[in-house]
Amino acid sequence: MKNIFTLTISLLIAAVSLAQNSNAVLFTENGERFQIVLNGVIQNTAPATNVKLTDLMAPNYKMKVLFEDKSLGEIDKNLFLEAYAENTFNIKRKSNGEWAVRILSITPLAQLPPSPQNVPNQNVVIYHPNPYTVPTTTTTTTTTTLNDPLYDDNVNINLGINGLGLNMNINGAGMGTSTSQTTTTYSTTTVTSPPPVYNTPPPTTTTIVVQEPVYIMPGYNGPTGCPYPMSPQDFAGIKSSIMSKSFESTKLEIAKQVLGQRCMTSGQVSEIIRVFGFESTRLDFAKFAYGRTFDIGNYYMVNDAFDFESSIGDLNGYINNYRR
């Protein structure tokens, strides 16, 4: 029994250590109104142009974007999140008519203002993975029949005051009157719509500050461009996925999409650059990756991936301007 208890505690500690807390802000560039569905559950009740989801504990979700204008179609893709950060995404239509969800910024939660900011036209929704139950009330009202001996007719009277009913019997002989009270019953109905969203947090909101994990690279004490680089196992899978594509443009698009939501080391960036066959593509990705690299002090390592000295000079010029 003691061993089982120890194992249970260990599993709970492991689960807590793997959990993350992050936010996701999604907005349409041209003001299209939409609803967000995460793992099959609608998050915002009313369509909006800007939705902020808080308390997201998983690193990724299956997401659908449902537009209020049905003619715009919908978006179905995976939503990847940087842990302990507020991830901001831009929803826009590409030139070919397809929708894209692009990462715009990643801000560590520790760097956010201590009190939530009231952003105009932004719906703030606390993530809820399950349907909610809402209590409903059913009131039963009786129908009373009055028998009049003079006219030999029936008169139906419905009386219902604040959930109470009144029943009266009147006869010509004894003029007897009897009363009875109706019964009010309660039931619970399960609904799939989330609770109402709010634009301004309730005054009793409790803010929980989560300590952001700190990555320490052995032997490196220089500046950093992102908080936590991906593991070697994750990087190997991503690199394999990029290499499996046939077209250079597709490889570049996937690489930027991944790096837009994740963090790499200079060595990992150098390996991705060597996947591309064209010098111009290598330079394009090297510029894009600079601000999303953990050990930017080691970025000189990517110079060996270029064939021409002019590319190295162009990259160094970009880095010098970036630092300003």
Confidence band of 172 (pLDDT split at 50, 70, 90): very low
Report the chain's mean pLDDT, rounded to a whole number: 78
Same domain? 8 vs 108: yes
211 pLDDT exceeds 60?
Answer: no
Candidate ranges 25-34, 158-167, 193-202; pick with highest mean pLDDT = 25-34
Same domain? 124 vs 185: no
3, amino acid identity: N
11 pLDDT exceeds 60?
Answer: no
304 pLDDT exceeds 60?
Answer: yes
80 vs 165 pLDDT, higher one: 80
Examine the fold and report which residue of 77, 106, 129 is the final residue of a domain before the chain moves on: 129
**Residue 43, helix vs strand vs coil:** coil
Same domain? 305 vs 238: yes
Confidence band of 175 (pLDDT split at 50, 70, 90): very low
Same domain? 184 vs 298: no
Q: Which of 186-200, 255-269, 305-319 has the lowest mean pLDDT?
A: 186-200
DSSP secondary structure letter of residue 305: G
Token pair recorded at residue 17: 């250590």
290 pLDDT exceeds 50?
Answer: yes
pLDDT (tens digit, 9 = 90+) per residue, 220-251?
A: 999 998 988 999 999 999 999 999 999 999 99
Structural domains counted in the chain: 3
Which CATH number is 61's domain given? 2.60.40
Same domain? 124 vs 170: no
Examine the fold and report which residue of 85, 102, 129 is the final residue of a domain before the chain moves on: 129
Same domain? 99 vs 173: no
Number of helical H runs and strand E runs in the chain: 6, 15
44, amino acid identity: N
Q: Please, which contacts does 235-241 make with residues 24 or more away whose CB atoms are closer than 8 Å?
A: 235/264, 235/268, 235/271, 238/262, 239/271, 239/272, 239/275
In percent, the amount of the chain with pLDDT more than 90 equals 48
Structural domain includes residue 248? yes
Rounded to an integer, what distance in angstroms lies between the CA atom of residue 217 and that of residue 108? 19
150 pLDDT exceeds 70?
Answer: no
Same domain? 84 vs 45: yes
Confidence band of 64 (pLDDT split at 50, 70, 90): very high
- Let me know the angle formed at the C-alpha of 261 by 256 and 265, rounded to the nearest 5 degrees: 75
Structural domain includes residue 217? no
pLDDT for 109:
86
99 pLDDT exceeds 60?
Answer: yes
Structural domain includes residue 286? yes
Residue 161 — φ and ψ, nearest 5°?
Answer: -125, 110
Residue where the block lists tokens 């290598």: 282
Structural domain includes residue 46? yes
Same domain? 245 vs 149: no
Residue 267 — φ and ψ, nearest 5°?
Answer: -65, -40
Examine the fold and report which residue of 129, 155, 173 is the final residue of a domain before the chain moves on: 129
Same domain? 15 vs 79: yes
Q: Which of 33-42, 121-130, 204-213 has the lowest mean pLDDT?
A: 204-213
Task: Tell me the pTM.
Answer: 0.41
Rounded to an integer, what distance in angstroms lies between the CA atom of residue 214 and that of residue 192? 39
CB-based contact 36:51 (threshold 8 Å) = yes
Structural domain includes residue 211? no
Structural domain includes residue 281? yes
Same domain? 68 vs 120: yes
198 pLDDT exceeds 50?
Answer: yes
pLDDT for 133:
54
Residue 277 — φ and ψ, nearest 5°?
Answer: -95, -20
Full residue range of the structural domain in which residue 65 is found: 2-129
Same domain? 239 vs 308: yes
**Sequence-ordered list of residues with C-beta below 8 angstroms from that of 212, at least 6 positions apart, any chain:** 84, 85, 108, 109, 110, 227
Average pLDDT over residues 291-306: 93
Structural domain includes residue 73? yes
Rounded to an integer, what distance in angstroms lies between the CA atom of residue 153 and that of residue 48? 60
Same domain? 153 vs 112: no
239 vs 196 pLDDT, higher one: 239
Confidence band of 204 (pLDDT split at 50, 70, 90): low
Quick one: CA dihedral 262, 266, 267, 270, positive or negative? Answer: positive
178 pLDDT exceeds 90?
Answer: no
User: Beta strand pairing status for 60-67 and 74-80?
Assistant: antiparallel
Beta pairing partners, 180: none
Structural domain includes residue 274? yes
Average pLDDT over residues 184-195: 53
Strand order in the sheet with 34-38: 41-42, 34-38, 60-67, 74-80
147 pLDDT exceeds 70?
Answer: no
**Residue 68, helix vs strand vs coil:** coil
Token pair recorded at residue 233: 């196992």
162 pLDDT exceeds 50?
Answer: no
